[in-house]
Amino acid sequence: MKEVSKMIRTLVLLCTLCISLQGFAFSEGGDQGAVDTKDEVDAYIQHHIKDAHDFHLFSYTSDNGERKHVGFPLPVILWSSNGLVTFMSSEFHHDDAGKVVVEKGGSKFVKLHSKIYELNPGASEVRFDEHHHAENAAKVLDFSITKSVFGILLVGLLMLWGFSSLAKQYASKKVPTGFGRVLEPLVIYVRDEIAKPNIGEKKYRKFTGYLLTVFFFIWILNLLGLTPLGFNVTGQLAVTAALAIFTLVIYTFSGNKDYWMHMVWMPGVPVLIRPILAIIELAGAFLIKPFSLLVRLFANISAGHIVVMSLIAIMFTLKESLGVVGATGLSLVLSFFITLIEVLVAFLQAYIFTMLSALFIGMAVAEHDHEHEHDATGHEIPDAEDVRGDFI
Amino acid sequence: METLLNDFSPGLFVVQTILLLGLIFLLVKFAWKPILTSLNEREEGIKGALDAAEKARAEMQNLQADNDKLLKEARAEREAMLKEAREIKEKMIADSKEQAKVEGDKMLKQAQVAIESEKKAAVADIKNQVAELSVEIAEKVLKEQLSNKDQQLKLVESMLGDVKLN
């Protein structure tokens, strides 16, 4: 009981810290100045949800009215029409509206809403059409070490460090000590609760490495997104798409004969229905499943970020009607509870993504004509693979 | 949808794919494989140890049962032996009593016979001696009495008188 209350206290403290720091970042954030009005809040949230080319911690206005940004630049790597171009993101001077033109490697680049555009030859600055789209510039392939990539690298290194140190511990002792003792049950959890029941006792081993990687990758990045560092990696479509496509590739290439047979020429149904079923099954396998995976993760995490930031923004938007104390109090209480829920969602989404990946892989490798156990009266006892269909 | 597509960054997708691929590869090689192998080994070790403990317990139980059985048998045997010994003892005592009695009787009888014969012998001896003595006495008396003639005649007369009386 004592342990639990201690844990809750720590969690509450962490959440409060996150919110207050985020609030701080908010009040001092923005590209141009402090964020106060509803439009500015919207713009700020929209900006945050996107990837960024530099690692921005917070900004403040110095005594002489100058805007100062605290953070560090990240390398920009572009594949432009003139080949590979690299420079540091500080060359844009925190501009995100396409005003600062960087000329490198014979091409001119501007940054507009967190995207880098290459100006058409001859143009010297961006022209906008009536929808505020750039008219005379085109997007370039951007392999930059953006904030998301930085986060991915950070998490990757953390995972490598943490889990390889856990792996090394087994060489000298049977039961790990220290941080490994925290990691081990999580690894066992993924293996026993996600991989084994969904893929089956016989084949789970081959896919557990992928499932473990994905689970911890998503979970740690989700949690990192709740910190005031402002990562939103698992809220990037490109990231979730890559994850979903990994799952798609794995279950497509490990699918056995039964799996393909059931997909393209379903046994046990009238021949005329089979092509229709095949279309549905193929669409399900190649579009719906990965799409549901990528959208679920992306939408949940993005929504979480938007909700938390919006609730923090109550501090500013309701300042007039509720007063400073009222607005701050309301914002603090609401965002506190939402942050607690987000901690749960962070785990839940990692779990769901991994679980569904395991499920799809399990469906692809399932043996259909397997031996059944028989009970005393000779009836077949349905095993995990038989009832799996009931839950999908 | 348009904003979503606009937000989709192909570059990030490529970078993420490469990094994830690398991460999976490295983690599988340096973390998951050794971890899962060790976990499996440990679990099998635990399972084996538990099985062994269970087996040992069963064996122990068997042993205990055997011990009990042996003990019981030993006790029964001891009991039987004791009983037998007691019987033998009693029988021996009875036998010796019997024998002693028979022997005693026999000895008694012999003794009686011996006593009887001794007695007879003694009596015969006494008779002989008495007879000899009497003869000697008679001889001496006769020698004494018959040393003079009167007395000899008187004796004859008394004897003859006795005969008459008879």
Q: DSSP for A322-374?
A: HHHHHHHHHHHHHHHHHHHHHHHHHHHHHHHHHHHHHHHHHHHH--SSPPPEE
Say whether A115 and B24 touch across the interface (CB within 8 A).
no
Q: Find the mean pLDDT for residues B13-37.
A: 91
Same domain membership, residue A303 and residue A232: yes
Say whether A191 and B17 touch across the interface (CB within 8 A).
no
Chain B partners within 8 Å of A149 (Cβ): 12, 15-16, 19
Same domain membership, residue A203 and residue A318: yes
Does any domain span residue A61? no
Does any domain span residue A11? no
Given pLDDT bands bounded at 50, 70 and 90, which one contains residue B147? confident
- Tokens representing residue A351 in the block: 């779990």
Residues of A with CB under 8 A from a CB of B: 50-51, 79, 115, 141-144, 146, 148-149, 152-153, 156, 159-160, 163-164, 166-168, 170-171, 174-175, 184, 187-188, 191, 205, 208-210, 212-213, 217, 236-239, 241-243, 245-246
Q: Reply yes or no on whether the pLDDT at B23 is more than 60.
A: yes
Does any domain span residue A378? no
Q: Model confidence over A271-286: pLDDT tens digits?
A: 888 888 889 989 988 9
Give the rounded percent of residues in chain A with a pLDDT score beyond 70: 86
Tell me how close the Cα of B46 comes to any Cα of chain A, in angstroms. Answer: 11
Same domain membership, residue A162 and residue A81: no
pTM over 0.90: no
Say whether B27 and A144 touch across the interface (CB within 8 A).
no
Q: Which residue among A141, A152, A167 sits closest to B10, beta carbon to beta carbon?
A: A141
Same domain membership, residue A282 and residue A162: yes
Does any domain span residue A239? yes
Q: Find the mean pLDDT for residues A105-117.
A: 83
In angstroms, the CA A186 to CA A169 distance is 16
Chain A partners within 8 Å of B24 (Cβ): 209-210, 213, 246
Q: Find the mean pLDDT for residues A164-187.
A: 88
**Closest to A145 in 3D by CA, of B17, B7, B11, B23:** B11
Q: Model confidence over B98-121: pLDDT tens digits?
A: 999 999 899 899 888 988 888 888
Same domain membership, residue A94 and residue A184: no
Query: According to the model, what pLDDT value does residue A381 have?
Result: 53
Q: Reply yes or no on whether the pLDDT at A373 is more than 50.
A: no
Query: According to the model, what pLDDT value does residue A20 have?
Result: 61
Same domain membership, residue A249 and residue A110: no
According to the per-residue pLDDT averaged within each range, which of A8-12, A71-75, A333-337, B4-8 is highest? A333-337
Chain A partners within 8 Å of B44 (Cβ): none
Give the domain-ending residue among A97, A128, A144: A144
Query: According to the model, what pLDDT value does residue A30 have?
Result: 42
Give the domain-ending residue among A144, A161, A177: A144
Same domain membership, residue A158 and residue A226: yes
- For chain B, helix (H) and strand (E) counts, in that order, are 4, 0
Q: Which residue among B16, B27, B38 sits closest to A242, beta carbon to beta carbon?
A: B16
Same domain membership, residue A158 and residue A128: no
Same domain membership, residue A204 and residue A113: no
Query: According to the model, what pLDDT value does residue A26 have?
Result: 54
Pairing of strands A115-119, A107-112: antiparallel
Query: According to the model, what pLDDT value does residue A23 have?
Result: 55
Domain that holds residue A99: 75-144
A151-162 per-residue burial string, b: 16 or more CB within 10 A, e: under 16: bbebbbeebbeb
Same domain membership, residue A250 and residue A188: yes
Chain A partners within 8 Å of B31 (Cβ): 159-160, 163-164, 166-167
Domain count, chain A: 2
Same domain membership, residue A353 and residue A236: yes
Q: Which residue among B14, B16, B27 sits closest to A213, beta carbon to beta carbon?
A: B27
Does any domain span residue A135? yes
Say whether B11 and A144 touch across the interface (CB within 8 A).
yes
Say whether A163 and B31 touch across the interface (CB within 8 A).
yes
Query: According to the model, what pLDDT value does residue A115 have?
Result: 83
Query: According to the model, what pLDDT value does residue A10 have?
Result: 73
Same domain membership, residue A216 and residue A115: no
